[in-house]
Structure 1
Amino acid sequence: MLEVGDLEKAIAFYSELLGIKGRPLRGSRAYFDCGSVILAVVDPTPGGLKPKPNATDVYFSVKDIKSVHARAVKLECLSKEKVHDQNASDLIVRPWGELSFYAVDPWDNGLCFVDEKTEFTGK
């Protein structure tokens, strides 16, 4: 679950980035069906709380990584960090063999997108 500061903005952002529609729910939440996993976003601000970014990146295994990367470029949400001395924003093969890139949502939640054909599962 990712905390966000504006549910409508989060639904628009993640719908565009992921290429799927979010399902708004009661309780200031929205769900995005990502294959066998659901991404949940919640807006704690109606209760007077500030959103807290996740401590670690959320990873997505995707079929068409080039399209996702293009949408991230359009949304201007590519990470400005480095990963193993490489630009996290670059769509490249990482030292562990995954073709991936990193992004950040408007609430500083880190995201990583991995080409499903190169996904490292530890096996």
Structure 2
Amino acid sequence: MRIFRVILPVDDLERATQFYGTLLETHGERVTSGRHYFDCGGILLACWDPLADGDPTFPGPNPGHVYLTTGERLEAVRQRAIDAGAVPDPWRGTIASRPWGERSFYARDPWGNPFCIVEAGSEYLGGGFEILPASP
């Protein structure tokens, strides 16, 4: 099995299309009145407005991060995200090298969905780190 789509709940599909179109530098594709998909290297990032799609309620933002990788300079991507309306994470919103080796920054989209942009080539894909016991 493989992941092929990640859903991001939004309550303004037009604004979400603009935000993610700017961040990802692509137009994506409107699929329904409540869904707009962006191809991110074979995995679809789906902006989903449940009310516009006929669902009765808005579930709120995702609790966990969506991780994206880029070959662009992280400084330029971070600024583009902020200019589009992203809110940098108060603790990890600056560009830094993480303990697991990734160079990245964390933010939230205008709907509160958390995301992280990771510099290509620094992605941690598993293995190579010793798991240490928790401190007493």
Shift of 1:73: 2.7
Matched, 1:101 2:114: no
Shift of 1:74: 1.6
Q: Pick from 63, 73, 78: which aligns with 2:71?
A: 63
Task: Report how many aligned residue pairs link the two structures.
Answer: 118
Equivalent in the alignment of 2:121: 117
Matched, 1:28 2:34: yes
Structure 1 spans left out of the alignment, 5+ residues = 83-87
Equivalent in the alignment of 2:88: 79
Distance 2:80 2:59 in 1: 24
Structure 1 SS opposite 2:126:
coil
For residue 112 of structure 1, what is the amino acid of its counterpart?
A: C
The worse-fitting range, judged by mean Cα deviation, of 34-43 and 71-80 is 71-80
1:51-90: CA deviation from partner (whole Å, max 9, x where unpaired) = 42111000001111333112023224132332xxxxx111
For residue 25 of structure 2, what is the amino acid of its counterpart?
A: G
Q: Pick from 48, 51, 58: which aligns with 1:45?
A: 51
For residue 30 of structure 1, what is the amino acid of its counterpart?
A: H
Shift of 1:91: 0.9
Distance 1:103 1:115 in 2: 15
Structure 1 SS opposite 2:67:
strand
Equivalent in the alignment of 2:96: 92
Q: Is the 8 A contact 1:78 1:104 kept in 2?
A: yes
Per the normalisation by structure 2, the TM-score is: 0.79
Distance 2:32 2:89 in 1: 34
Aligned identity (percent) is 40
Per the normalisation by structure 1, the TM-score is: 0.87
Structure with more of its chain in helix, by fraction = 1
Aligned-residue CA RMSD (Å): 1.5
Structure 2 spans left out of the alignment, 5+ residues = 1-6, 128-136
Q: Which has the larger radius of gyration?
A: 2
Distance 2:32 2:101 in 1: 40
